[in-house]
Amino acid sequence: MRPDETYQLLRSLTSPVVAITSERAGKRNGMISDSAVRASIVPEIPRISVYIHKFNFSHDLIFDTGRFALHLLRNDQFDLIHRLGFTSGRARDKLADVPHRPGMLGVPVLDECYAHFECRVANVMDTGSSTCFLGDVVEVGYGASTGPRGTVMTAAHFRTNMPPQWREEYETLLAAAQRFAAERSRDIKPVYRAPPPAPSGRVAAP
Ligand SMILES: Cc1cc2nc3c(=O)[nH]c(=O)nc-3n(C[C@H](O)[C@H](O)[C@H](O)COP(=O)(O)O)c2cc1C
């Protein structure tokens, strides 16, 4: 099968579009991902995994601190995806105009989202070009104006309905990420990560 046909099939495995926030030494940040999935079937041990490319600023913040918050988004939050997912937070504070508060782990929790999960990194896996973070969910909540209803932003909904003026930039950024990944993906390193302290947080019923 042609590689681009394979890639289109792999797109069937993308996750909802989520916003991931992080914080290190007072520097806060947010990015967008469509590679987060449920990583546990045990309701009492909720876990999430997500792949984050090493060129992203968020990667280093999460790797160094072992903390992140992952937000399911409403399916009308296109502007937030553009704000967090099209430029890097290395040079500017992308959360400056995004209402948020510190969560129980000290990581920014966005007021506007479908729901959020605060996570402690339990383990990592190197892919060469990215790190797969396995997160223990320690706190859960709904967004300020959603509650348990509303519709979650999926990758397919975003790709189909994003404003047309963003599409060229999106394709350019994707192509650059693919070039980076192509160069690095075969250089997989074993990673040792010390186990985090036992979670002190509880999982709150939303
Ligand atoms: C729809 C969409 C999905 C994305 N999925 C991922 C992903 O799964 N992993 C990743 O590392 N970057 C992903 N990105 C790219 C990052 O969000 C983007 O590079 C961002 O600018 C990183 O910001 P930072 O450098 O401030 O961390 C995605 C972007 C978009 C728009």
Residue type, 76: D
pLDDT of residue 205: 45
Q: Answer yes or no: is the C-beta of 23 below 6 A from any ligand 1 atom.
A: no
pLDDT of residue 206: 45
pLDDT of residue 90: 96
Q: Answer yes or no: is the C-beta of 15 below 6 A from any ligand 1 atom.
A: no
Ligand 1 binding pocket mutation candidate from 17, 33, 65 (most atoms within 8 A of CB): 33
Which regions of the chain are under pLDDT 50?
201, 204-206
Q: With contact defined as beta carbons under 8 Å apart, do 36 and 50 qualify?
A: yes
pLDDT of residue 65: 96
pLDDT of residue 122: 94
Taking the CA of residue 158 as reference, the ligand 1 atom at the shortest distance is: 1
* Phi and psi torsions of 110, nearest 5°: -75, 135
Residue nearest to atom 9 of ligand 1 (CA): 52
Instruction: Specify the residue for token string 């859960």.
Output: 140
Query: What is the rounded CA–CA span in Å between residue 40 and residue 42?
Result: 5
Closest CA to 32 of 60, 13, 65, 56: 56
Q: How far is the CA of 29 from the centre of ligand 1 (A)?
A: 12
pLDDT of residue 198: 60
Q: With contact defined as beta carbons under 8 Å apart, do 85 and 78 qualify?
A: no
Q: With contact defined as beta carbons under 8 Å apart, do 29 and 95 qualify?
A: yes
Q: How far is the CA of 96 from the centre of ligand 1 (A)?
A: 18
Q: Answer yes or no: is the C-beta of 24 below 6 A from any ligand 1 atom.
A: no
Contacts (Cβ under 8 Å, ≥6 apart) of 162: 78, 81, 82, 170
